[in-house]
Amino acid sequence: MPSFAPHPPLVFDESGTPLSTLYGDVFRSRAGAWAEAQAVFVEGCALPQRWDEFAGDPSDASFTVLELGFGLGVNFLATLRAWRERSGPPARLHFFSVEAHPLAVEDLRHALDVLGAPPADAQHLLAAWPAALPGMHRLSFEADAVTLTLCFGDALALVPKLRLGADAFFLDGFAPARNPRMWDPALLRALGRLARTGATLATWSAAGAVREALAGAGFEVERVAGHAGKRHRLRARHAPRWPGARPPEPPPHWPARTALVVGAGLAGAATAAGFARRGWQVTVLEAGGGPLRGGSAQPLCADHLHLSPDDNPLARLRVRELFGRHRAGV
């Protein structure tokens, strides 16, 4: 299996459930995508209860979910809805999802339509859906209060290199027997290193090897009744018996929320705008009397062909610009 490649066109099985021809497995339970997302992941990670702990917290409190396998985005959309419906949830939600085979936007649109996704949220996701280029793609929802970071690439290669603290984990790769890479003990150990104190984890799988690997990664694992006729699934909480390296820091808290930005070129202006969107008071110092008065004001820019021996994003971008979209795969 290539470590990164756009997903081939989506097909639907005889019950109308989206199926991956890459892995020979369904993207969602045949018993209902939204009920599964809510029961197995949102409630499996106890998100509503955990969010209640934030009631009365500062206005910049944030909560991070790390998901393995974005797929059709059902778990993300279900989490977004749960966050919106909760009264007093953490002010900011960061949903970080790793996906090695992003769908084409037309396939995603069709699948979300067939599954009956909430139309406004689906539309927002589709409008912001990035090109299938490896790396990080950041999408913003709910006036910047909710961030979706799509990390396009192979989880086993990327997750050990991530630098973040996660409060909850959704393990949603295809079945371990069909896709062992998504349940590799090294990958689950990497999750343990990213877990903030008390982080919760959920998956529909109850495979013995997954349980063992999670226990080895410092999770206290509980096997509970499965969803919609499945015998079992797993819930877990990070509670290492021998804490090794320090757990990731809790998110920083900025009581004053004021910032000083020096320079109103492209970078400074974008930084100031980003702070302002998040409700910070920003002061910008600029000698030129207005934005974009220095180098950022150049009306032209020089460019040159970038030849690269490998398929890196910079090379792809140049090929796209110079030869048009139809040659982008050259």
Ligand X SMILES: C[S@@+](CC[C@H](N)C(=O)[O-])C[C@H]1O[C@@H](n2cnc3c(N)ncnc32)[C@H](O)[C@@H]1O
Stretch that binds ligand X, among 175-183, 236-244, 272-280, 299-307 (CB under 6 A): 175-183
Q: Is 176 in the site for ligand X (CB under 6 A)?
A: no
Q: Is 179 in the site for ligand X (CB under 6 A)?
A: yes
Q: Is 122 in the site for ligand X (CB under 6 A)?
A: no
Site for ligand X (CB under 6 A): which residue of 83, 95, 169, 174?
A: 174
Rounded Cα distance between 214 and 221, Å, is 7
Site for ligand X (CB under 6 A): which residue of 40, 155, 168, 261?
A: 155
Residues binding ligand X: what is the number (CB under 6 A)?
A: 23
Stretch that binds ligand X, among 55-63, 168-176, 227-235, 258-266 (CB under 6 A): 168-176
Is the Cβ–Cβ distance between 50 and 63 less than 8 Å? Answer: yes
- Applying the rule CB under 6 A, the residues between 2 and 31 that interact with ligand X are 7, 27-28
Query: At a CB cut-off of 8 Å and minimum separation 6, what does 259 contact?
Result: 272, 275, 280, 281, 282, 283
SS3 breakdown of the chain: % helix, strand, coil, rounded to 5? 35, 25, 45
Positive/negative CA dihedral, 16, 21, 25, 29: negative
Alpha-carbon torsion, ordered 109, 113, 115, 118, to 10 deg: 100
Per-position b or e across 167-176, b if 16+ CB within 10 A of its CB: bbbbbbbbbb
Q: Kindly report the number of other CB atoms within 10 A of residue 95's CB atom.
A: 26
Least Å distance between CB 123 and ligand X? 17
Q: Which is nearer to ligand X, 176 or 218 (CB)?
A: 176
Q: Is 247 in the site for ligand X (CB under 6 A)?
A: no
Q: Is 218 in the site for ligand X (CB under 6 A)?
A: no
- Applying the rule CB under 6 A, the residues between 39 and 98 that interact with ligand X are 69-75, 98
Q: Which is nearer to ligand X, 64 or 75 (CB)?
A: 75
Least Å distance between CB 154 and ligand X? 5
Classify strands 146-152 and 135-141 as parallel, antiparallel or unpaired. Answer: antiparallel
Site for ligand X (CB under 6 A): which residue of 92, 101, 211, 233?
A: 101
Least Å distance between CB 53 and ligand X? 25
Torsion angles phi and psi, residue 303, rounded to 5: -145, 160
In the chain, the amino acid numbered 271 is T
Q: Which residues of this chain interact with ligand X, rule CB under 6 A?
A: 7, 27-28, 69-75, 98-101, 154-156, 172-174, 179, 181-182
